[in-house]
């Protein structure tokens, strides 16, 4: 049984200091990580032909756009901090919302951040020649971003926007070099038989992340207007960048070399821009990793803040600093856990648990639209119910594919998520006793 839809729109604690541009950069920053510098090779190998490969990138973009429409519809009606957590709580049950927040903390966000922090550390060490253990560099990067975000949401969003703009510039240089410099590959394709469905899985993983912008809805200046616009504009921008990178890689390397490449972006940069180009891409990967970390530390703690505000998590996590107006304890909690996993080096195992759980919650969140419409609320989702059902079907396809491909880690991820249920019951009992 869900909560009433008559909810408080404005949080009395958080400051509304994020505008449309910064919100759009948050959307793009949540999607574009370091993976796009490698993923084109995986997609090419899976697709087996250029038409199937480009179809996969475009279909993935359409799926991401449908997801953006789903979340823009939900965020327009419930522009609160916490985003997806709030939608699940209001549509279904606080327990399901808690399981999402729990999974975000113990699996989805923290594991992804630790992996990205290590990626940043590896490229930073390579570029700087510094002889510090990569785990320590990753932890120091997390500590720095944690401090910046504790200074206020405006400071955090400005750093995130600067990193995203730099990331766009690096990708634009890669696309420009690949499309307009050097010679097009004359390699004759001996493509094997591939499948769009197989190629779609890494593509959809690459397009994930737009939903995290909804976590900071409570700190947008005008969330009803700006969040839906930021979601759509951000996803369209990423579709343009991703398709451009795929085109550039295919033109320079040819499909067969692209499919066999361990570092396609680096190979394209070397072929078109020389050694300086390779250094540029290495710097771009480091910046992309740092940008993803910045976006994560800006957005995810707002979910834990909302859980604590609901009385199902540590009360200190709901406290907002009087001067900076940000949930400092929630930010420090997220940063510390990600840094710890990076130091322990167990992130590679944890990240394998992430994908199937993330897409289960995507499907459930889209289903919220049906619940709210049944209660008499209007929907701005274009083409609903058909488009909403298509998005849910895509999410379930990814869940099925990941469970079939890696059932062991998928089941562990599911077990870690379900383990949050007794934790929720314990907190609820504690709250009722209080």
pLDDT at 315 over 60: yes
Q: Which of 288-292, 349-353, 399-403 has the lowest mean pLDDT?
A: 349-353
pLDDT of amino acid 13: 63
6 within domain boundaries: no
Yes or no: say if 394 and 63 are a contact pair by the CB < 8 Å rule: yes
Residue 6 pLDDT grade (very low, low, confident, very high; cuts 50, 70, 90): very low
Q: What percent of the chain has pLDDT over 70?
A: 92
Yes or no: say if 241 and 168 are a contact pair by the CB < 8 Å rule: yes
Rounded Cα distance, 41 and 380, in Å: 37
Average pLDDT (54-73) is 91
pLDDT of amino acid 363: 95
328 within domain boundaries: yes
Instruction: Count CB atoms within 10 A of the CB of residue 297.
Output: 27
338 within domain boundaries: yes
How many domains does the chain fold into?
1
pLDDT at 190 over 70: no
Q: How many CA atoms lie within 13 A of 5 on its CB side?
A: 16
Q: What is the extent of the structural domain holding 282? A: 20-433
Q: Which pTM value belongs to this model?
A: 0.85
Residue 378 sits in a domain of what CATH number?
A: 1.20.1740.10
pLDDT at 351 over 80: no
Residue 362 pLDDT grade (very low, low, confident, very high; cuts 50, 70, 90): very high
Rounded Cα distance, 284 and 244, in Å: 16
Q: CA separation (Å) from 433 to 279, 410, 423, 425, 428?
A: 59, 36, 15, 12, 9
8 within domain boundaries: no
1 within domain boundaries: no
Average pLDDT (86-110) is 92
pLDDT of amino acid 185: 66
Q: What is the dihedral of CA 316, 322, 324, 326, to 10 degrees?
A: 30
Structure token digits, residue 241: 């960048």
Q: Which of the listed ranges 16-25, 131-140, 380-389, 395-404 does the model predict with the highest average pLDDT?
A: 380-389
Q: Which of 190-204, 252-266, 379-393 has the lowest mean pLDDT?
A: 190-204
pLDDT of amino acid 360: 93
Rounded Cα distance, 267 and 282, in Å: 11
pLDDT at 116 over 60: yes
Yes or no: say if 256 and 189 are a contact pair by the CB < 8 Å rule: yes
116 within domain boundaries: yes
**pLDDT per position as a tens digit, 370-404:** 999 999 988 888 999 999 999 999 999 888 888 88
How deeply is 288 buried, as exposed, middle or buried, from its count of CB atoms within 10 A (0-12, 13-18, 19+)? buried
Yes or no: say if 351 and 111 are a contact pair by the CB < 8 Å rule: yes
307 within domain boundaries: yes
53 within domain boundaries: yes
Residue 1 pLDDT grade (very low, low, confident, very high; cuts 50, 70, 90): very low
């Amino acid at each position: 049984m869900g909560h009433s839809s008559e909810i408080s729109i404005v949080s009395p604690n958080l400051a509304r200091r994020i505008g449309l541009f910064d919100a759009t950069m948050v959307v793009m920053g949540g999607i574009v990580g370091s993976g796009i510098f490698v993923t084109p090779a995986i997609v090419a190998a899976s697709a087996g032909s250029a038409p199937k490969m480009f179809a996969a990138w475009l279909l993935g973009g359409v799926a991401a756009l449908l997801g953006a429409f789903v979340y823009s519809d939900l965020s327009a009606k419930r522009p609160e901090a916490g985003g997806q957590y709030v939608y699940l709580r209001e549509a279904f049950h606080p327990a399901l919302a808690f399981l999402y927040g729990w999974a975000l903390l113990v699996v989805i966000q923290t594991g992804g951040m630790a992996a990205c922090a290590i990626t940043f550390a590896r490229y930073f060490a390579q570029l700087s020649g510094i002889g510090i253990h990569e785990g320590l560099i990753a932890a120091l990067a997390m500590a720095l971003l944690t401090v910046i975000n504790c200074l206020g949401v405006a400071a955090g969003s400005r750093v995130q926007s600067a990193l995203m703009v730099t990331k766009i510039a690096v990708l634009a240089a890669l696309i420009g070099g690949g499309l307009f410099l050097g010679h097009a590959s004359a390699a004759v394709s001996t493509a094997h038989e591939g499948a769009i469905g197989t190629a779609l899985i890494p593509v959809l993983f690459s397009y994930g992340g737009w939903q995290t912008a909804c976590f900071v809805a409570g700190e947008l200046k005008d969330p009803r207007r700006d969040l839906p616009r930021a979601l759509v504009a951000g996803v369209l921008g990423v579709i343009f960048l991703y398709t451009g990178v795929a085109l550039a890689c295919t033109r320079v390397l040819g499909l067969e070399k692209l499919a066999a490449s361990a570092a396609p972006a680096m190979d394209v940069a070397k072929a078109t821009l020389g050694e300086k180009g390779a250094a540029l891409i290495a710097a771009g990967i480091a910046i992309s990793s740092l940008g993803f970390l910045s976006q994560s530390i800006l957005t995810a703690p707002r979910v834990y803040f909302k859980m604590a505000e609901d009385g199902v998590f540590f009360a200190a996590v709901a406290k907002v600093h009087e001067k900076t107006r940000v949930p400092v304890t929630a930010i420090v909690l997220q940063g510390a856990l990600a840094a710890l996993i990076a130091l322990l080096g167990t992130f590679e195992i944890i990240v394998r648990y992430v994908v199937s759980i993330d897409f289960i919650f995507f499907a459930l969140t889209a289903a919220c639209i049906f619940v709210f419409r049944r209660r008499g609320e209007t929907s701005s989702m274009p083409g609903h119910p058909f488009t909403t059902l298509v998005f849910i079907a895509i999410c379930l396809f990814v869940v099925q594919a990941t469970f079939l491909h890696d059932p062991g880690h998928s089941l562990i991820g599911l077990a870690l998520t379900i383990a949050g249920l007794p934790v929720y019951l314990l907190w609820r009992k504690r709250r009722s006793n209080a």
